[in-house]
Structure 1
Amino acid sequence: MVFDPATLTYNEAGLIPAIAQDAENGDVLMMAWMNAEAVAKTLETSRVTYWSRSRQAFWIKGETSGHVQELVEARVDCDRDCLLLLIRQTGAACHTNRRSCFYTALRDGAEVELMAPEAD
């Protein structure tokens, strides 16, 4: 069966959430948005391409930072309204220069920073 990005369920803005997970160790690295064209570009090139809501433009992860995401496998959830991207991450995934965007834990009513930014 050939995959068609149009078969996914997008929100009212034409976007679908995409969770980036390290293919080797299972770490959840980030969540960003994709439209149908970003999904198609990602599958075509294996370079993860997101849709930037603030810039209203495509965003190829690592294009300016060098922190590239290479697609290993894409998975669709049961409702077809969320993607899981298994990736090979080069450098930090987060714009704060941390390995993961999920670096703050909520513990006993307090925020706890789990990791510091990576050194350049």
Structure 2
Amino acid sequence: MSLWLELEQAGIGDSRPLAAVLDAIPWNADGLIAAIAQQYDTGDVLMLAWISRPALEETLATRQVCYWSRSRQQLWRKGESSGNHQRLIEARLDCDGDALLLKVEQLGPACHTGRPNCFYNAIRDERVCVISVAQ
């Protein structure tokens, strides 16, 4: 039985060793999975980024969110240049382990544009409308 099926059938409070779960994650060909950052207290979805195993391990160890930058091909510690850090409150994997939800405390804007989150382009009818401005 796969680890994901074991967890699907497990009861509340059941657990598995972290190393075994990380080994079972279906990392893509680039060694990444999608990571959604969500403000822990409001539920606002802040951004989507990619995370590698080393980035996830660093995030869990330091509680400061670290992603993998596909454009720079290196670890990207959120806020290292902007000062807009994300402090990890809780990390959750989805049911088949191919997406990560990071509940964070966002310090400053989440988006590199200075907006509170990266989802400021709303699709409305036949148009895409900008719905927020830089803070």
Aligned length: 118
Give the CA RMSD over aligned residues: 0.8
Match of 2:118 among 101, 105, 115: 101
Structure 2 match to 1:110: 127
- Does the 8 Å CA contact 1:6/1:36 hold for their aligned counterparts? no
Q: Does residue 69 of the first structure (1) align with residue 86 of the second (2)? A: yes
Q: Secondary structure at the match of 1:117?
A: coil
Q: Superposition pairs for residues 31-46 of structure 1, below 5 Å?
A: 31-46=48-63
Task: Give the distance between the partners of 2:43 and 2:26, measured in 1 at CA.
Answer: 25
Matched, 1:52 2:69: yes
Alpha-carbon distance in 1 for matches of 2:58, 2:73: 16
Choose between structure 1 and 2: higher helix proportion.
2
Q: Which amino acid aligns with 1:38?
A: A
Structure 1 distance, partners of 2:26, 2:91, is: 15
Q: Percent identity?
A: 49
CA-CA distance at 1:37 after TM superposition: 0.5
Deviation sequence 1:30-50 (CA, Å, 0-9, x none): 000011110100000000000
Structure (1 or 2) with the larger CA radius of gyration: 2
Give secondary structure in 2 for the equivalent of 1:10.
coil
Give deviations 1:22-65, integer Å, cap 9, x for gaps: 00100000000011110100000000000011111100001110
Measure, in 2, the Cα distance between the counterparts of 1:72 and 1:8. Answer: 21
| Amino acid in structure 1 at the alignment position of 2:46 | L
Structure 1: 5+ residue runs without aligned partners?
Answer: none
Counterpart position of 2:36: 19
* TM-score (norm. length: structure 1): 0.95
